[in-house]
């Protein structure tokens, strides 16, 4: 009975994180828009950060509770799941040519971030120096996001740009009608409820994930890189499925690359800062989890850089590597 309750609470945590993240992203975007923040900044920073908030809170809470293996495993495991499972599905159903300039900078940043993580495994911990290096890569990512979005907006005609801005904008000062007031109230409620849902869900996920590890007799690291990592990556999975249905592969791949960079360059340094000490790296993570993250990233980006295409075989290769990784993780 106690095990059943633990599983239910764990699943409840996943649901709260997914729905809370959905509400929070919608409300945060709306609040930013009506406050006059340019759309380029909203897309490049607020939305990107909000979509990875579940992973952030899970890892930070785990690190502060001393569950370092789960904190590190969730951040790195989410990247491996995003590429080996979610991007793989996208490439299988939507291979095709891409504009290299739209993907190469982010791909290189993701690869460099993965190299830093692998280096941390060799060193044995994520210390202040490596955290600073990762944060520099995160700042470069934000700068690249803003630059590429500005270039995209500049390619639009002035009339189209202003039309898009006017259509999207909802001036806060004009909220005089009952309908406009209700929109304000609804978004404030969604913001608060979404943030509360993510925090509550992250706590449930961390605490009951640890209990599951104890019941089953496996390490917190395995729970972190499998159940927790996949659970916190569900928003990316939903985005990918939606993109497949709407045949918008760039939306799916772009979201995954951005989420991966934030997972590696922001979540781990913040977790270290909140833990107030270097995050030790388990030997199993250094030998298996980190190289797996680097391998799936290489399979995803280097053929694309060379050929300017995402190919279906990459999707099948990623799924195969991810399946082998899960087997090795659960049997090690």
Q: Looking at residue 246, what is its pLDDT? A: 67
Contact call for residues 67 and 265 (beta carbons, < 8 A) = no
Residue matched to tokens 């520099």: 136
Q: Looking at residue 161, what is its pLDDT? A: 46
pTM recorded for the entire structure: 0.77
Task: Give the whole-angstrom CA distance, residue 108 versus residue 133.
Answer: 15
Q: How far is CA 75 from the centre of its chain?
A: 8
Per-residue pLDDT of the chain (332 residues; tens, 9 = 90+): 678 888 898 889 888 877 887 787 777 767 767 766 655 455 556 666 766 777 788 888 888 888 888 888 888 988 999 899 988 988 998 887 777 777 888 889 999 999 999 999 999 999 999 999 999 999 998 888 777 767 766 665 455 445 444 544 444 454 456 677 788 888 888 888 887 887 788 778 777 877 887 787 777 788 888 878 877 777 667 667 766 776 766 656 776 888 888 889 999 999 999 888 899 998 888 999 999 999 999 999 999 989 988 899 999 999 999 999 999 988 86
Contact call for residues 226 and 77 (beta carbons, < 8 A) = yes
Q: Looking at residue 232, what is its pLDDT? A: 72
Domains of the chain with CATH codes:
2-170+177-331 (1.20.1420.30)
Beta bridge partners of 279: 126
- Summary count for the chain: helices (H), strands (E): 18, 4
Task: Give the whole-angstrom CA distance, residue 127 versus residue 6.
Answer: 33
Q: Looking at residue 158, what is its pLDDT? A: 53
C-alpha distances in Å from residue 305, one per residue of 107, 268, 300, 322: 9, 27, 9, 21
Indicate the SS3 state at residue 193: helix
C-alpha distances in Å from residue 153, one per residue of 9, 31, 56, 147: 44, 21, 30, 10
Contact call for residues 260 and 83 (beta carbons, < 8 A) = yes
Contact call for residues 21 and 198 (beta carbons, < 8 A) = yes
Phi-psi domain of 124 (left: phi exceeds 0; alpha: psi -120 through 50; beta: other) = left
Q: Looking at residue 322, what is its pLDDT? A: 94
Q: Which has the closest alpha carbon to 325: 187, 239, 226, 249?
A: 226
Phi-psi domain of 308 (left: phi exceeds 0; alpha: psi -120 through 50; beta: other) = left
Q: Which has the closest alpha carbon to 201: 62, 53, 10, 52?
A: 10
Residue 172 DSSP class: G
Indicate the SS3 state at residue 182: helix
């Amino acid at each position: 009975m106690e095990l059943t309750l633990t599983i239910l609470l764990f699943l409840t945590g996943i649901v709260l994180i997914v729905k809370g993240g959905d509400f929070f992203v919608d409300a945060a975007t709306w609040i930013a828009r009506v406050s006059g923040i340019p759309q380029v900044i909203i897309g490049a920073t607020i939305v990107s950060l909000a979509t990875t908030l579940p992973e952030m809170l899970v890892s930070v809470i785990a690190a502060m509770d001393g569950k370092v293996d789960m904190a590190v495993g969730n951040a790195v495991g989410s990247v491996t799941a995003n590429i080996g499972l979610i991007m793989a599905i996208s490439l299988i159903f939507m291979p095709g040519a891409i504009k290299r300039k739209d993907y190469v900078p982010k791909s290189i940043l993701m690869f460099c971030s993965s190299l830093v993580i692998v280096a941390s495994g060799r060193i044995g911990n994520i210390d202040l120096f490596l955290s600073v290096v990762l944060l520099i890569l995160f700042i470069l990512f934000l700068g690249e996001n803003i630059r590429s979005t500005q270039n995209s907006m500049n390619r639009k005609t002035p009339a189209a740009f202003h039309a898009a801005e006017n259509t999207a904008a909802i001036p806060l000062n004009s909220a005089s009608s009952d309908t406009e007031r209700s929109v304000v109230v609804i978004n404030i409620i969604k913001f608060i409820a979404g943030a509360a849902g993510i925090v509550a869900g992250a706590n449930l996920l961390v605490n009951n994930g640890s209990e599951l590890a104890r019941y089953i007799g496996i390490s917190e690291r395995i729970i972190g890189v499998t159940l927790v990592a996949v659970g916190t990556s569900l928003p990316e999975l939903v985005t990918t499925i939606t993109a497949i249905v709407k045949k918008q592969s760039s939306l799916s791949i772009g979201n995954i690359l951005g989420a991966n960079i934030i997972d590696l360059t922001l979540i781990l340094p913040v977790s270290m800062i909140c833990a107030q000490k270097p995050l030790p790296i388990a030997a199993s993570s250094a030998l298996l989890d980190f190289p797996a993250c680097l391998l799936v990233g290489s399979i995803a980006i280097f053929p694309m850089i060379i050929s300017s295409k995402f190919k279906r075989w990459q999707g099948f290769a990623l799924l195969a590597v991810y399946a082998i990784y899960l087997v090795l993780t659960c049997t090690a």
